[in-house]
Amino acid sequence: MLDIKFVRENPEIVKENIKKKFQDEKLPLVDEVIDLDKKIRAFKGEAESLRASRNDLSKQIGALMREKKIDEANEIKATVNKNNERIAEIEKEQVVLEEELLKKMMVIPNIIDASVPIGKDDSENVENQKFGEPVVPSYEIPYHADIMAKFDGLDKDASGRVSGNGFYYLCGPIARLHSAMLSYARDFMISKGFIYCIPPFMIKSDVVNGVMSFAEMENMMYKIEGEDLYLIGTSEHSMIGRFKGQIIKENQLPLTLTSYSPCFRKEVGAHGIEERGVYRVHQFEKQEMIVICKPEDSMEWYNKMWSYTVEFFRNLDVPVRTLECCSGDLADLKVKSCDVEAWSPRQKKYFEVGSCSTLGDAQARRLGIRTKNENGTYLVHTLNNTVLATPRGLIAVLENNYNEDGSINVPKALQPYMGGMTIII
C-alpha cells in the first residue's frame, strides 16, 4: 500500500504506474482517494478547531461561574454542547471516509522499480541468465508421475479417495528424496547465516490483508469455517505477520530468516490442478527465505536471495535460469520480482521452481512494521524468496538425474540425508 502523502503529491506518477501494469480500470481510484483524503483532512481541521474553541469556552464558563454570571455561563455551555455534538458527527463521518479511503488505497498497486520490463502478462517476462547447461539426453525421460510410480513412490488413487483431486501420497525412496531435499534446503540456508524458523500454519485475516492483495487471497487461501483463520499459502505470510505492529531496533537489521512449512492453495484460475502428476497441487512443502531490512539495502538483498536459489539447484545438478517478471505479471504489492526456473529435459523447456520478490515498504505499511534510530521511526522493507517448493523441486531433480536404465542418481549434496545412498534403483 502506498503512502497517501505520496499519492497526494504525485498523482501522475501513481497513474502512470497503473498504466504500466495495464490496470487502467484503477485510474479513477487516484482522484477518488485524493478527494477522500481532502475531506478527511478538512474534517480533522474542523474538529481540532472545535476542540480548541471548547477548551477556551470551558475556561470562560469557570470564570463566569465564579462571578455568579449563571445565565452567561449557561449560554456558553450550550455552545460547548453544540461543539461536542458536531465533533461527534465529524468523528463518525471521518471513520466512514477513512474506511473507504483504506479500501481504495489497498487496491492501488505499489510503484514498480524502474528496471522492471513493461509487459501485459507472463508471456512477456524476460530471460535474464542461464546457469548450467540444459541437456536433452539421447534416451526418453518419462513423465515424472511414471518415474515415481516405478519405485512405488506415488499413490494418487488413494489420495483421491481420501482427500480428492490435487493431493498425493509419496512413498519409499521417492518420499525420502523429497524429505532429503527439504532438510538440505534448511541446512543450506542456515549456512548462509539465516535463522531457521517453523511458523504457525494458520493466520488471522488482518495478517492476510497485510501481506497480500485481495485478488490473491480469493484465489489462494483456504478459510477455516467459523473462525478468523486461514491456512497459509506460503510461510512468508506468517513470518512477516510475526512482526505486525512491532518496532525493530535498527541495529538488529537485517533480519534474515528461513522457514519451513506445509502450504495450502486453492489454485483457482486458468492453470487448474494437475490430474496425474504433482506439479500443481493443493498441498506442498516449502523452505522459504525472508529478509526485513533498511530501505537502502533491499535491492542488494534481492539479488543475493535469488542467487541463493540458483546455487541451491545447481548443487542438485539441475540447470536453471532466471526470468524477470514484467509489470503486468507483478502482484500489486511487489516492486520487483524474478522467477527461478528449472530445466525439464523431458519437456525440453524450463519451468518455475521459485520466485524472489521485494515489496518495498508495502507490507510494512499495512502491518505497521517499523524500525527506529536517533531520528525517529520509519518503515522497513520486506523481501521473500523460495529456496525450495516441493514436490515441484523434486520433479526437477528426478528428471535431471534420471538414467537410461531407469535408475536415479542421488545428487552428492543429498547423499548424507539419504543414508549415503548414491543411486535409487
DSSP 103-136: HHHTTSPPPPPTTSPP-SSGGG-EEEEEES----
pLDDT digits (tens, 9 = 90+) for 102-117: 999 999 999 999 999 9
Cell 523481501, located at residue: 383
Cell 504506474, located at residue: 17
Whole-angstrom distance, CA of residue 167 vs CA of residue 406: 25
Buried b / exposed e over 258-281, threshold 16 CB at 10 Å, is bbbbebbbbbeeeeebbeebbbeb
pLDDT digits (tens, 9 = 90+) for 120-152: 999 999 999 999 999 999 999 999 999 999 999
Tell me what pLDDT residue 67 has: 77
Q: What are phi and psi of 114, to 5 degrees?
A: -60, -20
Tell me what pLDDT residue 330 has: 94
> Quick check: 359 pLDDT over 70?
yes
CATH architecture designation of domain 4-105: Orthogonal Bundle (1.10)
Residue 289, number of CB atoms within 10 A of its CB: 28
Q: Specify the CATH number for 122-424; select among 3.40.630.10, 3.30.930.10, 3.40.1280.10, 3.30.300.30.
A: 3.30.930.10
Confidence (pTM): 0.90
What is the average per-residue pLDDT within 175-197?
A: 98
Assess contact for 369 and 246: CB atoms under 8 A: yes
Kindly list the domain boundaries of the chain, sorted by start residue.
Answer: 4-105, 122-424
Assess contact for 183 and 284: CB atoms under 8 A: no
> Quick check: 360 pLDDT over 70?
yes
